[in-house]
Structure 1
Amino acid sequence: MPEIQLGSHTIRSHGAQVARVHMHDWLILLLLVVIEIILNIIEPFHRFVGEEMMTDLKYPLQDNTIPFWAVPIIAIILPFIVIIIFYFIRHDVYDLHQAILGLLFSVLITGVITDAIKDAVGRPRPDFFWRCFPDGKGVFHPVTRNVHCTGLKSVIKEGHKSFPSGHTSWSFAGLGFLAWYLSGKIRVFDRRGHVSKLCIMFLPLLVAALVGVSRVDDYWHHWQDVFAGGLLGMTVASFCYLQFFPPPYDVDGWAPHSYLNVLADSRNGNQPLSINANALTVRQLEFESVYLRSAPDVNAQDSISILEDMERGRRN
């Protein structure tokens, strides 16, 4: 699909229209935020923790290498900055809106699923002993030998939220979506063999993986928690990206579905075609992977000729 309208759909010209079409999606996002808050308030399931089970739960209680407040910066703010940069390059409000919407859905759906499982499973963290008994003196039920914690209630509550890792799932949800987004924008799968593009795509995933590793190093999570969190976040990110964008290996993988639909409707006469000067300065690279859905035998050079003829007619 030729980018004949590149630069003609900006926030000022089409922003309100695009947001209005997806108003229900933004309302669902608000609902997910409310659910996420509730899941963090309620008390998790307090799983039975016997005295003999404490052997594997006596790792030291220490601070987070990556604090909680840094996770939204890594999973949301960083991808958001990259998305904004591409908007200033392409001036396509469809891409901006769909990317932000997909990113927020990715992290919020992942957050809700993660915290719901945390509360339901109630798995103790590796440092649970020191959360439960900060003075190092264990107190257990005389018959069942279940723990009778003497520590702070808030600290104990967090101690029952080991599975899955929230840091990891959020990181893979946000940075995983960013990896998908970058792979489409820089055409990783254009069959030209540029390995440097793969390195760019894998960089966000490396950062997410290091976040997960830090959770094991800090003794806040078992390795199974991190593995499950990463798998969960990456799976949700993949579904959310493909909801708004074609697969990166698709010839139209550089643009969201909504943008391609607008161009298709314009070509079919369903809405007026908008062409400005910016549309005629599209880089030759953009036409190298072009195809017309309704006319597969028209090549990229034909598309350029059509644009030039239309511009000459407009000037005359």
Structure 2
Amino acid sequence: MPEIQLGAHTIRSHGARVARFHMHDWLILMLLVVIEVILNVISPFYRFVGKDMMTDLKYPLKDNTVPFWAVPLIAVVLPLAVIITFYFIRRDVYDLHQATLGLLFSVLITGVLTDAIKDGVGRPRPDFFWRCFPDGVGVFHNITGNVQCTGLKSVIREGHKSFPSGHTSWSFAGLGFLAWYLSGKIKVFDRSGHIAKLCIIFVPLLLAALVGVSRVDDYWHHWQDVFAGGSLGLTIASFCYLQFFPPPYDIDGWAPHAYFNMLAESQTENRSSSNNANRLSVAPSELESVYIHSHNSEANARSSNSILENMETQRRHLI
């Protein structure tokens, strides 16, 4: 397990470096925002709705228990507040950045897929009759039997966006990611058997489920829409979390992959610097050894030459 360095990587010291490294990810996020806006502007598929189908589409037209503006607060702001709280505790910009990036990817990918399916399927909502005929008088085509709506176009248009539930998919995308995040931070799967930890991560999932239940209670969605939306959001949240973090049951499940990659790079750089320093510290002694060896070699050479000269002189005298 790598050495833990708490409080050593703040926004001030490492924020710009981390953001630059993931610049392409932020560009993709902006592209997803543009796609999401386009999908909400275009009209959905207006599928055939016959008179005999109206039996299941005559539920009363009600207001939303969870209004549209509350969904981003539940799916994005609430998880982000928890992530920022952990940043102030650990002062780790890697965790803050990766968790924020994963959360936004989870919500935006889910939003794009949800609205793309909504526009493609065009399933009528349970209250479609009253959207189509606000006066309660049904009008149908003489030949095809299709509805001839007399209500407001914007209300009718919204009435063809039942499948899947956007409220539910967004809620499970954001709160599902939060459940994954908390399970890693509080080490739910540390084999200590504390059920209280498990209950904590079920809280955001319960909140997301209640949002889905409210959509059925308000007659804005069929139960299949809510089930599909919840499954979609939770699946995307799982993929996005595991893209940036180890599984919660892993020994390193409390921090993102980027944090441990940074530690590994730092340790490699430190070992390299240490090796260079050791080589430099040994160099003077090595030079001294070479000098002494060279000096001794020269002295031995001069001594050998002197002996040879003496021997040559003696030989000449004998001759």
TM class, shorter-chain normalised?
A: 0.7 to 0.9
Residue matched to 1:299: none
Higher helix share: 2
Equivalent residue for 2:188? 188
Which secondary structure state, in structure 1, belongs to the residue aligned with residue 269 of structure 2? coil
Post-superposition CA distance 1:249-296 (Å, at most 9, x none): 0000000000010111222236999xxxxxxxxxxxxxxxxxxxxxxx
1:122/1:162 contact within 8 Å kept: yes
C-alpha contact (below 8 Å) 1:188/1:249 kept by paired residues: yes
What residue in structure 2 maps to residue 280 of structure 1?
Answer: none
Residue 151 of structure 1 is matched in structure 2 by: 151
Task: Note the 1:155-234 alignment, pairs <5 A.
Answer: 155-234=155-234
1:119-168 C-alpha deviation (Å, 9 max, x unpaired): 00000000000000000000000111100000000000000000000000
- Whole-Å Cα distance in 2 between the matches of residues 88 and 160 of structure 1? 45
TM-aligned CA deviation for residue 223 of structure 1: 0.1
CA distance in 1, matches of 2:156, 2:178: 35
Q: Per the alignment, do residues 211 and 184 of structure 1 end up closer, same or farther by CA in structure 2, a change over 3 Å counting?
A: same
Structure 1 segments unaligned to the other structure (5+ residues): 274-316
- Relative distance call for 1:67 and 1:272 in structure 2 (3 A) is farther
Aligned to 2:247: 247
Equivalent position of 1:293 in the other structure? none
Taking CA–CA contacts closer than 8 Å with sequence separation of 6 or more, which of the two structures ends up with the larger relative contact order? 1
Residues 270, 232 of structure 1: alpha-carbon distance in 2 compared, 3 angstrom cutoff? farther
Does residue 1:38 correspond to 2:61, yes or no? no
- 2:311 corresponding residue in structure 1: none
CA distance in 1, matches of 2:187, 2:175: 18
Structure 1 contact 188–197 (Cα < 8 Å) conserved: yes
Which structure's CA Rg is the greater one?
2
Which residues of 2 match residues 118-157 of structure 1 at below 5 A? 118-157=118-157
1:169-218: per-residue Cα shift (whole Å, max 9, x none)? 00000000000000000000000000000000110000000000000000
- TM-score, with length taken from structure 2: 0.84
Q: Matched residues in 1 for 2:268 and 2:147: separation?
A: 70
Give me the whole-angstrom Cα distance separating, in 2, the residues matched to 1:6 and 1:109.
32
What is the RMSD of the two structures over their aligned residues, measured on CA atoms? 1.2
Instruction: Give the partner amino acid of 2:213.
Output: V
Cross-structure match for 2:8: 8
Superposition deviation, residue 6 in structure 1: 1.3
Is this contact kept in 2: 1:265–1:271, CA < 8 A?
no
Q: Residue 193 of structure 2 aligns to a residue in which SS?
A: coil
* CA deviation string 1:65-124 (max 9, x = no partner): 000000000000000000000000000000000000000000000000000000000000
User: In structure 1, what is the Cα distance between the partners aligned to 2:196 and 2:261?
Assistant: 31
Aligned partners of 1:94 and 1:259 also within 8 Å: yes
Q: Which residue of 2 aligns with 1:306?
A: none
1:99 and 2:99 aligned: yes
State the match for 2:299 in structure 1: none
Matches within 5 A, 1:39-58: 39-58=39-58
What is the distance in 2 between the residues matched to 1:122 and 1:229?
15
Partner of residue 108, structure 1 = 108
2:316 is matched with none
The one-letter amino acid paired with 2:198 is L
Distance 1:138 1:4 in 2: 68
Q: Structure 1 residues 165 and 271, CA, compared in 2 at 3 Å: closer, same or farther?
A: farther
Asked whether the equivalents of residues 266 and 272 of structure 1 are also in contact (C-alpha less than 8 Å), the reply is no
Q: Distance in 2 between matches of 1:53 and 1:272?
A: 74
Deviation at 1:4, TM superposition (A): 3.0
So what's the TM-score if we normalise by structure 1? Answer: 0.85
Say if 2:2 and 2:260, in contact at 8 Å, map to a contact too.
Answer: no
Q: 1:234 to 1:272 in 2, by over 3 A?
A: farther
Query: Does the C-alpha gap of structure 1 residues 152 and 174 become closer, same or farther in structure 2, counting only changes over 3 Å?
Result: same
| Number of residues of Structure 1 aligned to a counterpart in Structure 2 | 273
